[in-house]
Amino acid sequence: MQSMTIRRPDDWHVHLRDGDMLKLVAPFTARQFARAIIMPNLMPPVTQVAAAAAYRDRIAAAAGPDFTPLMTCYLTDESDADEIARGFDGGVWTAAKLYPANATTNSASGVTDIRNIHSPLERMQALGMVLCVHGEVTDPAVDIFDREAVFIERVLTPLLSDFPELKVVLEHITTAEAADFVAGAGPNVAATITPHHLMINRNAMFERGLRPHAYCLPVAKRERHRQAVRRAAVSGSPKFFLGTDSAPHHRPTKESGCGCAGIFNAPMALEAYATVFEEEGALDKLEGFASDHGPNFYGLPLNAGTVTLKREATDVPDLLGRGAIELVPFLAGQSVDWTLDD
């Protein structure tokens, strides 16, 4: 196949940040996607309807008219069910986001115990509002490579037995356990999958030296898990859909003695997914994964337009930037097999 046209896709998990970083990265996402679920882990986090509406306006200004940001509410121990319902009913919030406190970047204000958000979760279940989950336990006694699987056991399974109708997206899955759990759960449970977890395993972080640009959370796992996540992505199941988790960090904050977690993949996300789906002999499954399963799960309309991908290599730049900000993109200096036609 030399070219393929699919319904315009959406990104169901992205970090656009704020200020100059937002201005730099938003056009990359808007070039690829019609809509995106915007992560609320700013400093301070987006916990209030008014803050989310103002952030939405800043994103719209940075991304241009062809892009719709879908906002999320950052859940904390103090989250108020009425404020969440008000933002959802008012069309500001599409979903709410559960960060276990200190699990990842800017999650210090996250939830310390799931019991503290029972009343917001009860309301969300009644409203049909999606809960997006960073699914890792923070218990330092649990090995970092096991934190997703243990989260499923200790937190997600009890959560779903307390709220059996709650719509839950287990985000950026990295393990066979997560893929199996989601596949076997009810239709109210789905997962997003990133390009990097499809393309790299944990060796990438240690290839001939320490590689901070391959470091994100949840951390990439061993090859067996990458293979399981690839099978889930190309399975055609409506439970698995595209979420890049593009998470830009200024270069010096990654190339550091304590580097930030996050991989910036927005510039060539679709091209990377197409490369993986072709390797798996599943290009016919790309449109469902990228453009249909997400909106169907969220109960949103499918996009009207299309995008065309050509089977021509795209070279990924070593460095992207503007002004003082420098970003090393995913697959810097390498290439992907497809090109997005503008």
Is 245 noted as a catalytic residue in this protein?
yes
Structure tokens at 324: 């003082």
Q: Please state, in angstroms and rounded to a whole number, the distance separating the CA atoms of residues 209 and 49.
A: 44
35 binds, among ligand NCD, Zn ion, none (CB under 5 to 8 A by kind): none
Contacts to Zn ion from residues 103-132, by CB under 5 A: 104
- Residues 73 and 82: beta-carbon distance below 8 Å: no
Please identify which of the residues 82, 245, 337, 341 carries the catalytic annotation: 245
Residues in the chain, overall count: 342
Q: Kindly list the strands in the beta sheet with 168-170, ordered across the sheet, starting from the edge strand earlier in the chain.
A: 11-14, 35-38, 68-74, 93-98, 130-133, 168-170, 189-193, 240-242
Residues 103-132 that bind ligand NCD (CB under 6 A): 104-106
Closest CA to 243 of 77, 130, 75: 130
Q: Which does 265 bind (CB under 5 to 8 A by kind): Zn ion, ligand NCD, none?
A: none
**213 touching Zn ion, by CB under 5 A:** no
Identify which range of 73-81, 102-110, 236-244, 286-294 contacts ligand NCD by CB under 6 A: 102-110
**From candidates 134, 196, 226, 285, binder to Zn ion by CB under 5 A:** 134
Check binding of 216 to ligand NCD (CB under 6 A). yes
The CA dihedral of 306, 243, 1, 334, to the nearest 10 degrees, is 120
| Strands 68-74 and 35-38, bridge-based pairing | parallel
Closest residue by beta carbon to ligand NCD: 262
- Give the residue among 278, 184, 183 at the shortest CA–CA distance from 232: 183
CB of 333 to ligand NCD, least distance (A): 21
The tokens of 84 are what?
């969440």
For tokens 């940075």, name the residue.
62
Segment near Zn ion (CB under 5 A), from 69-77, 122-130, 133-141, 313-321?
133-141
In this chain, which of 40, 100, 243, 262 binds ligand NCD, going by CB under 6 A? 262
Shortest separation between residue 310's beta carbon and ligand NCD, angstroms: 30
Contact residues toward ligand NCD (CB under 6 A) are: 15, 41, 104-106, 134, 216-217, 245, 247, 261-262
Contact residues toward Zn ion (CB under 5 A) are: 104, 134, 245
